[in-house]
A and B are shown apart, each in its own frame.
Chain A
Amino acid sequence: MQQIAKTIRPKVADGTPLDRAEALSLLTEADLLTVGKLADGIRRRMHPEGRVTFVVDRNVNYTNVCRSQCRFCAFYRDADAEDAYLLDQEEILEKIAELVEHGGTQLLMQGGLHPELKIDWFERLFRRTKERFPQVQVHSLSPAEVIHVASLSGLSMPECLARLQAAGLDSVPGGGAEVLVDEVRAEISPNKIGWRQWAAVMEEAHGLGMRTTATMMFGSKERPEDIVEHLFRIREIQQRTGGFTAFIPWTYQPGNTELGGETASGVEYLKVLAVSRLVLDNVDNIQASWVTQGAGMAQVALFFGANDLGGTMLEENVVAAAGCSFRMSQEEVVELARGAGFVPAKRNTLYEILEEY
């Protein structure tokens, strides 16, 4: 254990990237504070101004009808289920109006792979959104949705993305990455796109000048090796494109899911977070997930590599469906960052600072 620290510490100190074996040994052998201190060192170096950022946003889930039916998901419904829904565009615009009233800047719109929603529906929605709310950043549609909309509309993925962008899509959220290893995906999300397709959408978006985030959902069926592979795949895409703004690891929530089982423990979460910070030295921001961890752990996460608290989420449905329903107001987010000794700052989707508190 001391050995790991001895060989890795100097590499971290002079900015030499870690290799997969080193990342794996940190994840599986090093103790929590050792990994934490290394990650905290990088976070301090990359964010010397001591800010902790957040964005005021709203999750709008336009439909819960989904063909993918992932085994880890508690949100999806069949089209004929009693509580299946599809929001009409007026309702969605109303929700965005509320977001704007609350000083929000980011619309995080994601939904199921609906069997009937083609690209014209989204183009119309994005155009109307931009017309009424030009100041709102449309950070919407994860790669699985983009590919689904493309195939439903008889378009190639690049054509689809370009049309969505032309209609108003500003950036792409990194959801649906789960674990970017197809053996794991076969077990937890057999009908969802494979990791190469996820990566292809991200690279295409980056090529079109859109920034995106990347996520990882861990704590289900993956091995530590898979987590490491995921991180290096993100790192390699980022080396090619530089398009990721942030990495967001969060934990599988087993409530009401077919997959069941337990969620990752607090120690496991912090270790993965810290190793993410260490491996992804080419991604500027690492988000703490208060939605899955709660406020107490999110604050602690700021010492294990995280420098961002994600969104205030005026509305959140997907994690809540799995029985995990932490809520935070903007004041609480500010207080959380300040209470840990940081300068809280509101940012936009592109991580430009809007206001310090």
Chain B
Amino acid sequence: MLNLFENIHSKIENGARVSDAEALELFASDDLLAVGELAALANAKKNGDRVFFNVNRHINYTNICVNRCTFCAFSKGVEDEGCYTLALNDILRKAAEAGAAGATEIHMVGGLHPELPFDFYLEMLAAIKADNPALHLKAFTAVEIDYFASLTGQSAAEVVAELKAAGLDSMPGGGAEIFAPRVREKICPEKISGERWLEVTEAVHRSSLKTNATMLFGHLEEYEDRVDHLSKLRELQDRTGGFQAFIPLAFQPDNTRVPGAKGVGGVDALKTLAISRIYLDNFRHVKAYWVMLGLKVAQVALAFGVNDFDGTVVEEKIGHDAGADSPQALSREQLCTLIRKAGRTPVERDTLYNELRVY
């Protein structure tokens, strides 16, 4: 074990890559703090003591979804009680509120709605952009892009070109879940394959839009599946350089239908963030998504290789429907305080990681 940590330490110092086997050994290790130290070193070399956050707002335009992923507590059928689709006016009002509150980004994802035409999404982007030209529109997962492609009979690249022309600025990276087909079959059987997710994301990067990448962990996957997931992301990033941040998402089990899944302990959450930081040497940023992790663990994660604390969020539905007990929103001041209390320097960024203000 000592050798493992020493070897990885010198790899990080020399800018060499950690192998899949080494990543697996780190997952198997019970020495949380030793893993954390390596991740902190890897992050310090890339990002110093700065921690990014942004002022953003989530808008989930619909929870109606033709995919019924068993891990998801957000999706509803068209006939289900509690299903909704926001009217364009409501979406515009939420975006305008966000703009007035100093947001720089709108984060928009939703279900795969069986009836909304592709034009709905184009109009939505164009209308928000027309009202708020300064707001960055980060919207849609690769899953939605693939769905739009099948709705319109176009290629993913063609769909992205149209969305981009309507106002799409970047994409958030959801829907990746876990790439391994054996697990995907159980947690999201109707969703596009991991291979397709990577293919669509590559097309998005080729259209010169940046995206993030996520991994949903803590359900039925094995450590091998996590490493496989990370390895496919690292490979794609080598080819495109289009990923900005990696965001491991801790599975929230309430109201979901994954048999036997219990959610993620604090130790596993921190270890996974840390190993991601160590392994993904070609990703600049690793984000602690406080909505899923909870504020306390997310803040502690700043000592485990994380350099991005996500944003103000304002109205979060997906994680909270699954029992996340974090708040709905954080203010800029709260974010700064949490980052400062972790001994780090808060930096407000825009979506593309330009520094807007150092606090």
Contact = CB atoms under 8 A, between A and B. Distances in A.
B300 A295 contact: no
B262 A335 contact: yes
Nearest to A297: B296
Contact of B30 (A294, A295, A341): A341
Interface string B65-96: 00000000000000000000000000000000
Query: Chain A interface mostly helix, strand, loop or mixed?
Result: helix
Query: Chain B interface mostly helix, strand, loop or mixed?
Result: helix
Contact of A295 (B32, B40, B266, B341): B266
Contacts of A36: 33
Interface string B288-300: 0000011111111
B265 interface: yes
Contacts, number: 81
Interface residues of A, number: 27
- Most chain A CB neighbours (cut-off 10 Å) among B40, B293, B325, B343: B343
A291 to B, nearest CB: 13
B342 A269 contact: no
A222 to B, nearest CB: 15
A64 interface: no
A297 B37 CA distance: 18
Contact of B303 (A33, A293, A295): A33
A296 B30 CA distance: 16
Interface stretch (B7-15, B221-229, B267-275, B349-357): B267-275
B338 interface: yes
A40 B262 CA distance: 27
A299 B294 CA distance: 14
A141 B244 CA distance: 56
A340 B30 contact: yes
B300 A32 contact: yes
A266 B267 contact: no
A299 B303 contact: no
- Most chain A CB neighbours (cut-off 10 Å) among B36, B298, B300, B302: B300
Counting from the closest, the 7 A-B pairs by CB-CB distance are A266-B296, A341-B30, A296-B266, A300-B266, A32-B303, A299-B266, A266-B299
12 contacts: A31-B303, A31-B343, A266-B297, A266-B300, A267-B342, A296-B296, A299-B267, A300-B32, A300-B266, A300-B297, A303-B33, A340-B32
Interface of B: 30, 32-33, 36-37, 40, 262, 264-270, 293-300, 302-303, 325, 337-338, 341-343
Interface of A: 31-33, 36-37, 40, 265-270, 293-300, 302-303, 335-336, 339-341
